Amino acid sequence: MNDVAKSRLKVGLDVPWVTSWSGEAVLGVGPCASVGGRLAVRQAERPGFGRPNYSRNHLRRQRLTVARMLCPMCGEPTPEDDRWLQTARRTTAGILRARSFAAALPPALGDDRVVVDAGAIAPCHLACAGRAAAHCPHLQAHTSGELIAFPYAWIVLPLMVRAGPTHVLDSTARPASAVSFLQLCGITTETDRAWRSRAPLTSADS
C-alpha cells in the first residue's frame, strides 16, 4: 500500500473530505472511537493517496461526519443554522418503520411525524454545497440541486453488518455485529396525517 502515489487533488477542496481513496484498504473489524468504542468496520487512513472513489465514503470519516456533525465536504463542524442536505428526502416515521427501521426509531415518535431521511450523508455548509456539487460526480448524478435545511433534532441509525472470526481484529472466536456506516434522520415539527397512503405495502397488506 505504501507505493500508492499521493494525488494532486486536494482533500476538502477538489475531493470531499468523506470520500474514500484507493490507497485506503478495509482492515477488518475492531473497536472504534467513532461509535463510542463499539465494534465497527475499520479502514486505513490515507486520504489523498491513490484515486478518489467518489461513490464510496470512507468508513470512519463517514461515521465521524454523522456523530460529530462534520461537513462531508471540508470536514469541519457545521453550526446549527448552517446545515444543508443535497440528496435527502422528506418522509414520515411510519414509512421508515415499514422499511425495517422500527427498532431504531424512538417509540414516542409518532408515525405521522415528518422526518428528513438523509441516508448516510451528513449535512454540509452552504458554502461547501456548491463546491461539492461541482467536484463530486457521484453527487451530480444523485441530486436535483435542491437544498434542504437540516432540522434541529435528529436521530442516528447504525447500519450493522455481521463479521466472522477472520474479520475481527481481536481474534474473537464468535461472529459479531459491527457498525459499518451511520445513517442520519432529521426530525421536523411537522406531521402528515395522510402518511399511510404513501406507505409501502407489506406482505400482510397484499
pLDDT tens for 40-74 read: 999 999 999 999 998 899 999 999 999 999 999 99
Q: Which residues are CB-contacts of 59 (< 8 A; sequence separation ≥ 6)?
A: 20, 26, 40, 41, 42, 43, 180, 181
Residue 86 pLDDT class (50, 70, 90 cuts): confident
Residue 65 has a pLDDT of 98
Average pLDDT of the residues in 77-81: 96
Residues 119, 85 contacting (CB under 8 angstroms): no
Q: Is residue 8 part of a domain?
A: no
Specify the number of domains making up the chain: 1
pLDDT, one tens digit per residue, over 12-45 is: 998 999 999 999 999 989 999 999 999 999 999 9
Q: Is residue 14 part of a domain?
A: no
Q: Is residue 1 part of a domain?
A: no
pTM score of the predicted model: 0.85
Between CA 4 and CA 35 the distance in angstroms is 29
SS (H, E, C) 105-170: CCCCCCCCEEEEEEECCCCECHHHHHHHHHHCHHHHHCCCCCCEECCCEEEEEEEEEEECHHHECC
Average pLDDT of the residues in 119-140: 81
Q: Is residue 104 part of a domain?
A: yes
For 83, the domain range is: 19-198
Q: Is residue 9 part of a domain?
A: no
Does 206 have pLDDT greater than 90? no
Q: Is residue 162 part of a domain?
A: yes
Does 7 have pLDDT greater than 80? yes
Average pLDDT of the residues in 116-130: 92
pLDDT, one tens digit per residue, over 145-197 is: 678 999 999 999 999 998 765 455 554 446 678 999 999 999 999 999 988 88
Q: Is residue 205 part of a domain?
A: no
Q: Is residue 33 part of a domain?
A: yes
